[in-house]
Amino acid sequence: MHSPSTPRVALVTGANRGLGRALAHGLARHGLHVVTTARSNDAAQQAAAELRNLGGLASGRQLDVTDPASVFRAFADTIHEHGRLDVLINSAAVAIDRNKTVSAPDMEIIQETMNANVLGVWRCCAQAVPAMKDGGYGRILNVTSHMGSLSTMESSSPSYRISKAALNAFTLVLAHELADENILVNAASPGLADTRLAYGTATQSAEAAAESMLWLALLPDSGPTGGIFHGPDRLAW
């Protein structure tokens, strides 16, 4: 049972930089034990040490969302160590097709993008959900983008756009499946934040963007599920 002496446990992918790092810091400020993950173990451990130096509860795990064995190991070790997993934030992503077109595809880039941005999230959710079901509680936040909105879809960066549209669909399907399990699943776009993946001119810091999204990882049981949000507002997609 959750109590002040047994803090909730959150795992954040891509927690070593940018938006993932800012989200991890936000969770730590709310008293959660944050498992910071990154593709390299050194980066994951450094991110956790940074949180501990600020007074937070944190541990690091190597996790490459494109590597099924890495995903399995990170979640298995986290659940074994803590006996629970309450929150999952899927922040890790790639944006590597800025100058590509859909009519002249680079299939290697497309596969890499879909593997990270869609299948990577799917792998992580598949590992997290059983533990959340066992605990009778779960919050999943998938970081999406305005560029995945079907209502405003354009031709640039096609694999990134399509991957985020697919992530939105995945979010809704998973939310519907888990509607009776007290596992709330939502996606949120940070907008134009100052991160390595930023498209266009940033209008806010990564920290400000993370703060606008963090509420979805801390929802009460009566909170929304199956939503695509930008700040407090639902995003048309």
Give the residue extent of every domain in the chain: 9-234
pLDDT in tens, 32-82: 999 999 999 999 999 999 999 999 999 999 999 999 999 999 999 999 999
pLDDT in tens, 121-146: 999 999 999 999 999 999 999 999 99
pTM of the model: 0.94
Of 55-59, 87-91, 101-105, the one with minimum mean pLDDT is 101-105
Give residue 138's pLDDT: 98
Kindly give the pairing relationship between strand 228-230 and strand 183-188. parallel
The residues carrying an active-site annotation are 160
What is the average pLDDT score of the chain? 94
Return d(Cα 7, Cα 26) in angstroms, integer: 15
Q: For residues 183-196, give the mean pLDDT.
A: 84
Res 111 pLDDT > 70: yes
The two structure tokens encoding residue 221: 């049981």
The two structure tokens encoding residue 216: 């979805």
In 4-147, beta strands by DSSP E: 9-12, 33-38, 57-62, 87-90, 138-143
In which residue are the tokens 């040490």 written? 49
Task: Work out the pLDDT band at 2, boundaries 50, 70, 90.
Answer: very low
CATH topology of domain 9-234: Rossmann fold (3.40.50)
Give residue 201's pLDDT: 67
Return d(Cα 68, Cα 111) in angstroms, integer: 15
pLDDT in tens, 196-216: 555 556 667 899 999 999 999
Task: Work out the pLDDT band at 230, boundaries 50, 70, 90.
Answer: very high
Q: Do the beta carbons of residue 190 and residue 210 sit within 8 Å? A: yes
In the chain, beta strands by DSSP E: 9-12, 33-38, 57-62, 87-90, 138-143, 183-188, 228-230, 233-234
Give residue 236's pLDDT: 85
